[in-house]
Structure 1
Amino acid sequence: MFFLLLLFICISPSKSLEVTDGIFSALVEKLSTLDETVQRQEKVNNEQDEIIRYLTNQNEELLKRLNDKEVLLKQLDKESTIDERRRFVLNSEGPVAFSAVIDPTVVDHTKANTAIKFETILTEYGGGYNNDTGIFVAPNTGLYLLSCSMLDHTPKGGHGGVMIHGEIMRNHDVLARVFAHAETTYRDQGANTIIATLTRGDQVWVRTVDNSDLGLGGSRYTSFSGYLLWQLS
């Protein structure tokens, strides 16, 4: 150790400065190299951070899309179930159908343009038909099958000359007509069946026309029926 110290002292000042400068230059060069390496690494890290942020955003977007698809599939499954129910004329509230007839042998004094009261209910689902008024109120918007039959009344002394002219009405619009004209020997029954679009709240009823005071045959020959075929939104 003493020998090394002595050797260092014996070296000329100029030589000592040269050695010191060389060491300093080497250190500066190494520091510069390390700084460049750090800068490159920071750049790589920044690029990787950008990639990570991009992938994170993409992942969140994919998760959002997946969630939206799941919600859509659930909605489609629900609508498919409803459509299956509608196909069998069912919905969340059940079927809509009614059928009513006139039981008495004859209904006297049927006034023209007045709703006929089919008093005996055979079938009623959905709460739409009122036998006190003879009016059916559509509980749902959809395609309905509507049917009506009417029997002429037997007058005293025979059948000839008796005519029935009836109409199936939607609110104040004529949907279809029914006509029956008895012959001398036989009575006559007219009937009509249609498919119509009804909006919820529409009133459907049957009336006689062209007669100021007509008797209508009953005994369940005269009937009025309706059925929801397909519910519309």
Structure 2
Amino acid sequence: MPPSFFIAMKSTISLILNIFVRCARVCDASYIGETGRRFGFRLGEHRKDTERQEEKKFTRSERKQSESQINKSAITYHAMQENHVIDWENSKVLDRENHLLKRQIKEAIWIRRSGAVLNRDEGAHRLSHIYDQLLCLCIVAVPITSDTDITPESFLSLQEQVQTLLVAFQSQQQTIEHLERRIEEVETENLELKLSDDGAARASVGFSASLSTTVALGDSQTIMFDTIISNDGNGYDSRHGHFTAPITGLYAFSVTVMCHGSESNLHTSIVKDGQIIGKCFANGYSSDNGSKLVVVQLQAGQMVWVEHAVDPSGYKIYGDEYSSFSGFLVQAY
């Protein structure tokens, strides 16, 4: 059975793809990740990065610098260290998901279920280990089809597996319900602690981040404003470009985007959990910039981010701190 890499991708629709690897010895390792770029574009990035390192000849100092760059890509590092050849042509789609949070949960499930993975973390979403037993049982369970020969012994075994699965599921449901109640209690206690005697909220939540470098954007790509100016409450994640509300309340968000030279118009959107709540436009024929301010209610845990609207891929947003994303808590509930 050939070893494989699995990658979760996002375009207009999100994909999970399978990248095969040929090697001299058995390798069951896999790589799983999610991105805002299209399948072909992201796959091409992995391929170019790997092949560039394979073909390049280095001086001693260049080799040391190259090893630092390789370490940034788990796929390239594995291919170089193990001398594995990646079978790019046989890559295939395994799953699809539009919603950002659902896609990140699927990514975490794939990582957990795959066992031996090259990933250096458990994904963008931290999946609780209380689901491990349930995921393990889902892998073991055998689907019954019209072509399957069912003996009394195998049927009894399947019944026992189903019963065990149901018991585990009910146990997990009870644990989840208990944790949800406890989360609500903690959130209430936390908010009460942040309120002064006269009822004025003392909670401090706000962030401001800018874009350091010019970026070519794909369709519906999340824009990651990587230079953090302020981040009270630690709600903004520069790694993924989204803000997560630490407490329930009324929030204000603003975005400013600048076109790169006179190449193209630039359409961007402020998005709340997959729903567009504001749009921003910049005229690319005069290095124009556009701004948008929205005020919106958020429940604790909901996310807001800025993404490129449906335009031809490759349009660029100007960096050098000209483009920015900010937000703050107006009133806690």
TM-score by shorter chain over 0.5: yes
Instruction: Note if 1:176 corresponds to 2:278.
Output: yes
1:205 shift after superposition? 0.4
293, 300, 313: which one aligns with 1:193: 293
Structural mapping, 1:79-118, within 5 Å: 81=197, 83-84=199-200, 86=201, 90-91=202-203, 95-104=204-213, 106-107=214-215, 109-118=216-225
Structural mapping, 1:113-132, within 5 Å: 113-132=220-239
Cα 1:80–1:128 change in 2 (3 A) is closer
Larger RCO: Structure 1 or Structure 2 (Cα < 8 Å, ≥ 6 residues apart)? 1
Larger radius of gyration: 1
1:79 shift after superposition? 6.2
1:210 shift after superposition? 2.2
Cα 1:100–1:82 change in 2 (3 A) is farther
1:213 shift after superposition? 2.1
Q: Partners of 2:288 and 2:243 in 1: how far apart? A: 26
- Flag structure 1 segments of 5+ consecutive residues without an equivalent: 1-77
RMSD: 1.6
Question: After TM superposition, where is structure 1 displaced by more than 4 Å over at least 4 residues in a row?
Answer: none
- Flag structure 2 segments of 5+ consecutive residues without an equivalent: 1-193
SS in 1 for 2:199: helix
String of CA shifts for 1:44-92, please: whole Å, max 9, x gaps. Answer: xxxxxxxxxxxxxxxxxxxxxxxxxxxxxxxxxx9662622x2xxx23x
1:174 shift after superposition? 0.5
Q: Partners of 2:287 and 2:276 in 1: how far apart? A: 26
277, 298, 310: which one aligns with 1:210: 310
Does structure 1 conserve the Cα–Cα contact (< 8 Å) formed by 2:272 and 2:305? yes
Which residue does 1:17 correspond to in 2?
none
Q: Partners of 2:209 and 2:289 in 1: how far apart? A: 16
Number of aligned residue pairs: give it.
Answer: 139
Q: Partners of 2:248 and 2:212 in 1: how far apart? A: 31
SS in 1 for 2:296: strand
String of CA shifts for 1:157-194, please: whole Å, max 9, x gaps. Answer: xx2x61000000000100100001133xx310010011
Q: Partners of 2:229 and 2:195 in 1: how far apart? A: 32
Identity of aligned residues (%): 31
1:115 shift after superposition? 1.0
Q: Partners of 2:229 and 2:325 in 1: how far apart? A: 10
Relative to the length of structure 1, the TM-score reads 0.57
Q: Partners of 2:195 and 2:237 in 1: how far apart? A: 32
Amino acid at match of 1:179: F
String of CA shifts for 1:91-149, please: whole Å, max 9, x gaps. Answer: 3xxx0000000122x11x21121211000000001111100000100001000010001
Q: Partners of 2:308 and 2:256 in 1: how far apart? A: 12
220, 224, 228: which one aligns with 2:325: 224
Relative to the length of structure 2, the TM-score reads 0.40
1:151 shift after superposition? 0.5
Cα 1:165–1:141 change in 2 (3 A) is same
1:214 shift after superposition? 1.6
1:216 shift after superposition? 1.0
Which residue does 2:257 correspond to in 1?
150
Does structure 1 conserve the Cα–Cα contact (< 8 Å) formed by 2:264 and 2:315? no
